[in-house]
Amino acid sequence: MLPQEIIRQKRDGGRLAAADITDFVRGLTDGRVTEGQAAAFAMAVYFQGLEMEERVALTRAMTQSGTVMEWRSQNLPGPILDKHSTGGVGDKVSLLLAPLVAACGGFVPMLSGRGLGHTGGTFDKMESIPGYVVQPDLERLRQVVREVGCAVIGATSDLAPADRRLYSIRDVTATVESIDLITASILSKKLAAGLDGLVMDVKFGSGAFMAKYDDAQALARSIASVARGAGLPTVSLLTDMNEVLGTTAGNAVEVAECVAILKGEAPEARLWDVTRELTAELVLLGKLATDLDEARAKVDRALADGSAADRFSRMVTALGGPADFLERSDTYLAAAPVVRDIHAAEAGTVTAVDTRAVGIAVVALGGGRTRPQDGVDHRVGFTGIVGLGDQVDPAGRPLARVHAATEADADAAVAALRQAFTLGAGPATRGPTVTERILG
């Protein structure tokens, strides 16, 4: 069928055959489909939607548009597992989850992305480690996963190239928010990685891509259902992003927080809740435990006995980073020249956080990007960030500590962060960190 006929059929609310979807995606990859036709297709899907069979067909077609990794030839003694997050502020879960899963017997080829907008990217965090090769070739990725058990890297151009082209067009045609297209975009890359199991972290709240709970829930259900329809066992968890996850937001500062946790420092409770539940779900999906309680116990043990820390250290070394990074990370991670406490104008209890505003403040410092081609200053960000229910005082506990490149940047960050926190006299309401578990 001609591309314009496929577009017309979906524009008029028709149901597309799998063969037509496959042909259209092939056209995206080989250039037969023009940018105008891709934009029209995306807009038709945005308004008319896709039925479940169409979502599965689109996901499978985009998966097959490039390299699909296979792991059986590696004779690995455990399952291939991964996690994906819809993004948030201070979301450093991947840096802990990958070595934890590896320490529990799984193998994690984690393909991460750069930060865009107010959300941070795992790619940028790992790039703050000197020498670390964030985009190795596929053979090196296989080697590191085989020998260490995990590799946190950037997505390569070989995987799901049709999605890369379609996403760039969606980004400039106001069709990014389509749940159908988001689902296919996320899962095509994960299916191309050759996984045996996937856990989705779908965030809601003031710092999430989808702030409304109902929207996040709909996306979580779509991803879990389409993934299982495409043959990938998947669980989606809905997690709260109404405050920063952990106590840091930035790149090098988030790596430092994770290193401290791996070395035995007590993690911030919400960060550990999300990390532990997502990791336990993967351990269970990979049949490395018989139920979630056993899986959680294995995760706790992997952190406590240092085996996760060992996997992280070996991963960093195998991908070009310093051999003693875990022991001396403070000497390797670049430090910002201006460091200053941010005090509230008055004493009070934190009753609300505009988490998106905190993320935007990191971007303004240079720690994020608004365009894919922008550079990132890995040194900047915030540490010691308070959360809901914490008490602050102009002469006591600060809202956070800013790490900036210049005094002017620090001044702007102080003003922005003060605006992001609402203070009151009474106690704050804080809901559960993980609110719902969704199977396909």
Catalytic option among 170, 221, 311, 314: 170
Catalytic residue among 10, 60, 84, 343: 84
Neighbouring CB atoms inside 10 A of 2's CB total 13
84 in active site: yes
Please pick, among 118, 190, 270, 379, the residue that the annotation labels catalytic.
Answer: 190
10 is catalytic: no
Specify whether 85 is catalytic: yes
Check: CB of residue 345 under 8 Å from CB of residue 418: yes
Distance CA 33, CA 11 (A): 16
423 C-beta neighbours (distance < 10 Å), count: 18
Taking alpha carbons only, the member of 297, 272, 274, 273 closest to residue 284 is: 297
Q: How many CB atoms lie within 10 A of CB 59?
A: 30
Closest CA to 271 of 239, 318, 299: 239
Its sign, for the CA torsion 392, 241, 254, 368, is negative
The catalytic position among 122, 128, 317, 383 is 122
Selecting among 55, 189, 270, 403, the annotated active-site residue is: 189
Active site residue 128: no
Virtual torsion, Cα 243, 91, 284, 146, nearest 10 deg: -170
Whether 82 is catalytic is yes
Tokens of 51: 């039925």
For residue 341, the surrounding DSSP H or E stretch is strand 338-342
Active-site residue, from 185, 247, 275, 433: 185
The encoded tokens of residue 2 equal: 């001609």
* C-alpha span between 439 and 223 (Å, rounded): 9
The residue annotated as part of the active site, out of 20, 82, 91, 163, is: 82
| Residue 190 annotated in active site | yes
SS3 198: strand
Of 10, 55, 60, 83, which is the active-site residue? 83
Q: Can 343 be counted among the known catalytic residues?
A: no
Would residue 287 show up in a list of annotated catalytic residues for this protein?
Answer: no
Bridge partners (DSSP) of residue 439 are: 235
From 29, 85, 128, 234, active-site residue:
85
The question of whether 118 is a catalytic residue gets the answer no
**CA–CA dist 319, 433 (Å, integer):** 33
From the list 224, 216, 176, 19, the residue with the least C-alpha distance to 27 is 19
Catalytic residue IDs: 82-85, 122, 170, 185, 189-190
